[in-house]
Amino acid sequence: MNRALVHRLLPGSCAALAVLVLDQAVKAWLLDLLVVLGGHARVTGYFNLVMVWNTGVSFGLLQAGQEARWLFILLSLGIVVGLIVWLARAETRALALALGLVIGGALGNVIDRLRFGAVADFFDFHYASYHWPAFNIADAAIVLGVAVIFLQSLLGPRSLAK
């Protein structure tokens, strides 16, 4: 493998691995903790830990039954393959890291779908009676990665540090 390709793949691969490991570790811990706590824990006046099983896509959109599980898994894996190809061609370190965040998050949620048939979501931010849809570390990484990709596409590849 040539040195330039390794230089492009390494930051994104490390980000993907870090997100995947952190996501799965936090999910394992919170699954156990929330069983003990009865599925819900108030942390602050605006943040709760909750146990939500998401059979749809990010933030509970397009909720579907088990018949869609394999479609979501295959679609996610296809997207990951495309993102890995893009990662191999990434021109900046910021883009490589952003792609790694999305890849790691997507793989974390695929593992949940394979293990549990749904994605485990825990973080519930709210204000008064309005609750943001519950999410997990993988979802947060995907959103952050997509935001960086979007910003870089708007501002140009040199806008974010190489």
Q: Is it the case that residue 56 has pLDDT exceeding 80?
A: no
% of the chain beyond a pLDDT of 90 = 70
Q: Is it the case that residue 120 has pLDDT exceeding 90?
A: yes
State yes or no: is 139 an active-site residue: yes
Output the pTM of the full model: 0.88
If one compares 49 and 9, the residue with the highest pLDDT of the two is 49
Q: Is it the case that residue 104 has pLDDT exceeding 60?
A: yes
Cβ-in-10-Å burial (0-12, 13-18, 19+) of 93 comes to middle
State yes or no: is 121 an active-site residue: yes
Contacts from 76-85 at CB under 8 Å and sequence distance 24+?
Answer: 76/106, 76/107, 76/109, 76/110, 76/113, 77/110, 79/106, 80/106, 80/107, 80/110
The ranges assigned to domains in the chain are 3-155
Of 23, 112, 124, 139, which is the active-site residue? 139
